[in-house]
Amino acid sequence: MIRRVEQAAERLKALGHPVRLSILRSVVQGPEAGTPAGEIQTRLEIPASTLSHHLASLSEAGLVVVAREGTTLRYRADFGVLHALTEYLWQDCCSGGSESKSSLKSEPSPCCGRD
């Protein structure tokens, strides 16, 4: 359980920087084979060294996967990891967590999709 919390926190931390979030959004919108680093750099108008630093952080967090194609590095989102992260955030929605049943609110949580 603690490992899972730490892993989720690291991934959310990686997404907590505006440039990294923009990079990930760009990669998510890119082709299935991956988006070349130069294309990401051009789209976001950031220096290559800055892009490299942020891509390394996203890769370390497991959010993007890099593949070398000759001299080109292509980055693609790891949709399985992204899905698992959002699942983790929603998994306890409406379950009441570890609270006792007597302390639960009678009204459903907004995340339940009920008004």
| CATH among 1.10.10.10, 2.170.260.10, 3.40.50.261, 3.40.50.720 for 2-90 | 1.10.10.10
pLDDT of residue 28: 96
* Averaged pLDDT in 10-residue chunks for the chain of 115 residues: 89 96 96 96 96 97 96 96 93 64 50 57
> Residues 6 or more apart from 55 whose CB is under 8 A from it?
23, 37, 40, 64, 66, 75
Q: How many CA atoms lie within 13 A of 93 on its CB side?
A: 12
pLDDT of residue 6: 94
Task: Kindly tell me the burial class for residue 40, based on how many C-beta atoms sit within 10 Å of its own C-beta (0-12, 13-18, 19 or more).
Answer: buried
pLDDT of residue 99: 45
Domain spans in the chain, listed from the N-terminal domain onward:
2-90
Residue in 72, 91, 94 with CA at minimum distance from that of residue 83: 91
